[in-house]
């Protein structure tokens, strides 16, 4: 069995005690390296752009700009950095806004350290993390949108291969799993995803899936 993937993490949390507790939780796992912290949004963006962590654990409620705006700005300037929202909110509208902004996942703060760790690992493996109850409401919304689509279309002119990659990603498969199903190397899957993102004008697989669901060209 290989060692867990080493992940450089940046944490944005405005409440000092919660930040302290979160850092203590992350320190339990040797593969997670905290490379920086911030307690407000604008300063956090500047630090993250300089440090280029692998993943950001980001609170939504922050002084100044909120976590959704932080995600938008970060994704414009450093699109390779993954964002995992960690917040007290459990509102599906906030989930939708965070995903639209480019976040790859969303956990509520009441989850334990192991759940945060597994969430980080899932995101870094190319997956999506959503709280189960919120996820059901979130995806049901897009199922309802699909039901209204009589004639699915493909406005982004995705190739058949790109369409297949997106279809499997929509079903929750990681990049490695997509590669296994389609007999492609993982880096080839990443290349196809980058082409899909460019054509669709998005920064993450979650955004791509959301648009494809709304267009009715993929199913969950």
Residues 129 and 27 in one domain: yes
Q: What's the Rg (C-alpha) of the chain?
A: 17
Residues 129 and 31 in one domain: yes
Residues 195 and 111 in one domain: no
pLDDT tens figures, 17-54 = 999 999 999 999 999 999 999 999 999 999 999 999 99
Residues 13 and 87 in one domain: yes
pTM of the model: 0.67
- Is there a domain that residue 143 lies in? no
> How far apart (Å, rounded) are the C-alpha atoms in residues 197 and 195?
5
pLDDT tens figures, 104-157 = 888 888 788 999 999 999 899 887 787 665 666 666 655 555 555 444 566 788
Give the domain extent around 205: 150-215
> How far apart (Å, rounded) are the C-alpha atoms in residues 61 and 57?
13
């Amino acid at each position: 069995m290989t060692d867990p993937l080493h992940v450089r993490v940046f944490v944005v949390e405005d409440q000092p005690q919660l930040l302290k507790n979160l850092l203590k939780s992350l320190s339990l796992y040797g593969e997670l390296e905290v490379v920086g912290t911030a307690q407000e949004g604008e300063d956090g963006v500047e630090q993250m752009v300089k440090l280029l962590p692998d993943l950001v654990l980001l609170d939504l409620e922050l002084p100044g700009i909120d976590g959704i705006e932080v995600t938008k700005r970060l994704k414009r300037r450093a699109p390779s950095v993954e964002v995992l929202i960690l917040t007290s909110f459990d509102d599906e509208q906030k989930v939708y806004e965070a995903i639209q902004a480019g976040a790859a996942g969303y956990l509520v703060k009441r989850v334990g350290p192991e759940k945060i760790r597994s969430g980080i690992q899932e995101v870094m493996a190319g997956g999506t993390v959503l709280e189960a109850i919120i996820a059901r409401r979130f995806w049901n919304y897009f199922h309802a949108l699909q039901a209204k689509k009589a004639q699915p279309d493909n406005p982004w002119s995705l190739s058949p291969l790109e369409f297949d990659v997106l279809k499997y990603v929509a079903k929750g498969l990681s990049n490695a799993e997509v590669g296994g199903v389609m007999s492609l190397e993982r880096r080839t899957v990443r290349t196809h995803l980058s082409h899909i993102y460019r054509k669709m004008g998005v920064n993450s697989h979650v955004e791509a899936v959301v648009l494809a669901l709304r267009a009715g060209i993929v199913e969950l």
